[in-house]
Amino acid sequence: DGGITQSPKYLFRKEGQNVTLSCEQNLNHDAMYWYRQDPGQGLRLIYYSQIVNDFQKGDIAEGYSVSREKKESFPLTVTSAQKNPTAFYLCASSIDPRGMEAFFGQGTRLTVV
Amino acid sequence: EDQVTQSPEALRLQEGESSSLNCSYTVSGLRGLFWYRQDPGKGPEFLFTLYSAGEEKEKERLKATLTKKESFLHITAPKPEDSATYLCAVPDANSGYALNFGKGTSLLVTP
């Protein structure tokens, strides 16, 4: 089955710690995205990548980093510089970055402990 | 500046009570309007794409329509399993056409 796999489903981070969220897709999609979802805020764009080895900052990129070394993988690192990292993180992909529907993974819930 | 505004924020319906959700947008050169359904703790599930004013799409009890300034998601004779948050989104040219989402409408259908 084709789809987008996010792991882990739940993640706990200690203060000052970097953590990496995994996102893998086998849909052969060029574009991949990371969103953050907070209660009452909707989905906000963190980073996006339209092609391998290229990525751009979204609206709330501070405190996050990404890489796109392979077409199927787009990991997100939440660094210690992100002051309020507790949120639901969603990865998505799209076959065409010029305005086609995006398909989402099941999300990773990150909690700072 | 908000590009996508959804209303109402929350809606409670009795089973069988039809209603509509609204999504208004303020982008020029629309490259599609997208509707998603999201269940608690899950990723959004794609429902529809609409590209031009007058276009309609249907799926079971849901029908999406599009005008030049807004889209409606009509729910006919809803069932409790239709309870979810419904999100609409438009591509944002300033972000490589990544989808810019509204805050969603939380729908609860009671038996």
H or E stretch including A102? none
Of A40, A45, A24, A48, give the one whose Cα is nearest residue A105.
Answer: A24
Residues in A 34-73 with any Cβ partner in B closer than 8 A: 35, 40-43, 45, 48, 50, 56, 58-59
Which chain B residues are within 8 Å of A104, Cβ to Cβ?
36, 43-46
Number of neighbours of residue A94 by Cβ within 10 angstroms: 24
Report pLDDT for A15: 87
pLDDT band at B1, cuts 50/70/90?
A: low
Of B93, B54, B44, B57, give the one whose Cα is nearest residue A99.
Answer: B93
Query: What one-character-per-residue DSSP string does B23-47 give?
Result: EEE--SS---EEEEEE-TTS--EEE
Closest chain B CA to residue A49: B96
CB A27 within 8 A of CB A93: yes
Which chain B residues are within 8 Å of A74, Cβ to Cβ?
none
Strands A19-25 and A87-94: unpaired
Which chain A residues are within 8 Å of B34, Cβ to Cβ?
101-102
Query: With an 8 Å Cβ cutoff, are A33 and B99 in contact?
Result: yes
Number of neighbours of residue A59 by Cβ within 10 angstroms: 16
What would the pLDDT profile of A16-73 be if each residue is shown by its tens digit?
Answer: 899 999 999 999 999 999 999 998 888 999 999 999 999 999 999 999 999 999 999 9
E-strand spans in B1-111? 4-7, 10-14, 19-25, 33-38, 45-50, 56-59, 62-66, 70-75, 84-92, 98-101, 105-110
What would the pLDDT profile of B18-42 be if each residue is shown by its tens digit?
Answer: 999 999 999 877 889 999 999 999 9
Report pLDDT for B106: 97
What CA–CA distance (Å, rounded) separates A33 from A88?
14
Query: Residue A36's Cα: distance from chain center in Å?
Result: 8
Is A97 a residue whose pLDDT tops 80? no
Closest chain B CA to residue A89: B43
Minimal CA separation from B16 to chain A, in Å: 27
Report pLDDT for B72: 98
Closest chain A CA to residue B29: A99
What would the pLDDT profile of A65-91 be if each residue is shown by its tens digit?
Answer: 999 999 999 999 999 999 899 999 999
Buried/exposed code over B23-51 (b: 16+ C-beta within 10 A; e: otherwise): bbbeeeebebbbbbbbeeebbbeebbbbe
What would the pLDDT profile of B59-99 be if each residue is shown by its tens digit?
Answer: 999 999 999 999 999 999 999 999 999 999 999 888 888 99
Of B88, B43, B91, give the one whose Cα is nearest residue A3.
Answer: B43
- Report cis status (omega within 30 of 0) of the bond before A75: no
Minimal CA separation from B52 to chain A, in Å: 13
